[in-house]
Structure 1
Amino acid sequence: MLIGYGVMYLLAALWVIPLLWMVWAAFMPKSETLNGWSWNFTLENFAHVWQAAPFAQYYLNTLLIAGGVLAVQLVTVTLASFAFARLNFWGRDIIFVLFLVQLMIPADVLIFPNYHVIKELNLLDTKLGIMAPFFVSAFGVFLLRQMFKQLPAELEEAAVMEGCSKIGLLARIYVPLSIPVYVSFAVVSISHQWNNFLWPLIITNSVENRPLTVGLAIFAQSFETGAQWADVSAATLLVIAPLLVLFMIFQRRFINSFMHAGIK
């Protein structure tokens, strides 16, 4: 038992050390970043980074992309999960298995066909072009379907007897009772879009559509000396801070929802 906890704490320390160093470097004066530990802290790095690159535009782009993808996913995931969990139709289980095959396909494999489709739709270098391939989530369907299947069938039967429609069942029973799962899925979806790099890098060319990850990479490549680690660390902290705050706020609900959804 003690050995297991020791290994766990060691792995946790290995994971958090680079994060702590980045936070430390972000607040250190540039002249002291590589000279060892110091208690001199400054906010000048953040001010310089904010003025040196259009991070305000990058933030806006990322928020629109992540929010737009999540909004569409909530609709598609809810409808698909309800169909797979509560509706009886020919080939339902087979279609569901084929649907889950998407989870085993690396996203990078689909870059070329996705690029070809987006190009044919004239959506290159647009926010909609970035969002379109992610409007449906196999993971979200699986997660929400597990929750829908656990809800008592008697609730649905009682609502049907009262004249409730399928959409009414979703709006009044299934969705309200599945809020913790929706929150967890929202955290996963937003995190994925916030960290998405390769796909936006390929199809965007303008600042007006470039998300934070691509903007950060371009900003970091503009500095080639070690003396600029303070700026790069400050820029990185600006990018990841919202995700850290989001996870800290919803971490308990995030973990509990996976347990209640039957994922071990």
Structure 2
Amino acid sequence: MNNPLKMSLPLKPNTIRPARKNRVLRSASLKVRTLQMLWHGMGFAFAALWIIPFVWVARTAFLPKESAITSGWFQGWTFDNLINVWHAAPFGQYFLNTLLVCGVVLAVQFVTLTMAAYAFARVRFAGRDLIFLLFLVQIMVPPDILIFSNYQVLNEMGLLDTKLAIMLPYFASSFGIFLLRQSFKQLPYELEEAACVEGASRLHILSRIYVPLSRPVYVSFAIVSVSFHWNDFLWPLIVTNSDSNRLLTVGLAMFAKSTESGAQWSDVSAATLIVAAPLMVGFLLFQRQVIGSFMHSGIKG
């Protein structure tokens, strides 16, 4: 015979709490997974918006001219468009000019940025903070505002239509100085004091201590500088008139506006792919180094 007192006892609370905890954990994990799926979906949507035009350009560059505007994607791919475009305009000269401008500007910027950043970070002199504030003000000034004044200065110096005219306004960078100064200030000052005790000069300290320890910042700035000058269009267009001094972006615009290739989508797409391919290939080959340099070059206070 069953005991009525035993049957009327309520369930123990210890048997209820684990079930509630499991339901709460399952609902929390479902929310996390839903948010992750939403974020991933947004990321893929933005990636598609960016990559669809590039895929269309790449597809059109390798299709015959009569099939460029059709809906087919695999209708006899050919390299004739790239070959014809390369010989129709002096893209080889444009490539050399662009590589020369990007390389020389970056090399000079490394020198000027290193000297200025070290002076603002470690050297005490009168008016240091005020001068540094003026450098920060330059970051807020768009470069296009200074086009007219820079053009007048270069015209008086007789440097128009030269590669030096393209490079000269960019030999110093206020953003690079700010970025490198913050990196130098994060390094322990005891390293410099120990080197001074050993009799090292400032240049020796700068080249053996500060520059190697700030390598991620240099890589990050190099990526930004090369990308900017590779894609720069307005300033090289204004100060150059001859093919011997034009850059890739200006050469591409001149080629696209020409009467022979204005309505030829295959030729224009092939020329665009020639200009954009080096940066794309470089990023794909060194994407780990690129991402790592930006992750390790964060700015702290």
Q: Describe the shift of the 1:94–1:253 C-alpha distance in structure 2 as closer, same or farther (beyond 3 A).
A: farther
**In 2, distance between residues paired with 1:202 and 1:111?**
9
Residue type matched to 1:242 in 2?
A: P
Contact 1:126 1:209 survives alignment (8 Å): yes
**In 2, distance between residues paired with 1:95 and 1:163?**
30
Aligned position for 2:45? 10
Residue type matched to 1:106 in 2?
A: P
Q: Describe the shift of the 1:160–1:249 C-alpha distance in structure 2 as closer, same or farther (beyond 3 A).
A: farther
Aligned position for 1:184? 220
**In 2, distance between residues paired with 1:20 and 1:166?**
51
**In 2, distance between residues paired with 1:180 and 1:245?**
21
**Larger radius of gyration, structure 1 or 2?**
2
Q: CA deviation at 1:157?
A: 1.1
Aligned position for 2:69? 34
CA displacement, residues 168-212 of structure 1 (integer Å, 9 cap, x when unaligned): 011111111222221221111111111111011111111110111
Residue type matched to 2:191 in 1?
A: L
Are positions 1:92 and 2:128 aligned together?
A: yes
Aligned position for 2:83? 47
**In 1, distance between residues paired with 2:299 and 2:189?**
21
Alignment partner of 1:209: what SS? coil
**In 2, distance between residues paired with 1:255 and 1:106?**
27
Residue ranges of structure 1 left out of the alignment (5+ in a row): none
Contact 2:216 2:297 survives alignment (8 Å): no
Aligned position for 1:106? 142
Q: Which has the higher contact order (CA 8 A, sep 6+)?
A: 1
Per the normalisation by structure 1, the TM-score is 0.95
Q: Larger deviation: 245-254 or 22-31?
A: 245-254
CA displacement, residues 133-177 of structure 1 (integer Å, 9 cap, x when unaligned): 000011111121121112121211111110011100111111112
**Count of paired positions:** 264
251, 271, 281: which one aligns with 1:215: 251
CA displacement, residues 120-141 of structure 1 (integer Å, 9 cap, x when unaligned): 1100000001100000011111
**In 2, distance between residues paired with 1:217 and 1:226?**
10
Aligned position for 1:80? 116
Residue type matched to 1:260 in 2?
A: H
Contact 2:117 2:181 survives alignment (8 Å): yes
Q: CA deviation at 1:4?
A: 2.5
93, 96, 103: which one aligns with 1:57: 93
Contact 1:31 1:227 survives alignment (8 Å): no
Q: Larger deviation: 87-96 or 165-174?
A: 87-96
Q: Describe the shift of the 1:193–1:147 C-alpha distance in structure 2 as closer, same or farther (beyond 3 A).
A: same
Are positions 1:243 and 2:284 aligned together?
A: no
**In 2, distance between residues paired with 1:257 and 1:69?**
20
Q: Larger deviation: 107-116 or 184-193?
A: 184-193
Q: CA deviation at 1:248?
A: 2.6
Q: CA deviation at 1:14?
A: 0.5
Aligned position for 1:201? 237
Give the RMSD, CA atoms, in angstroms.
1.7
Q: CA deviation at 1:227?
A: 5.2
126, 135, 139: which one aligns with 2:175: 139
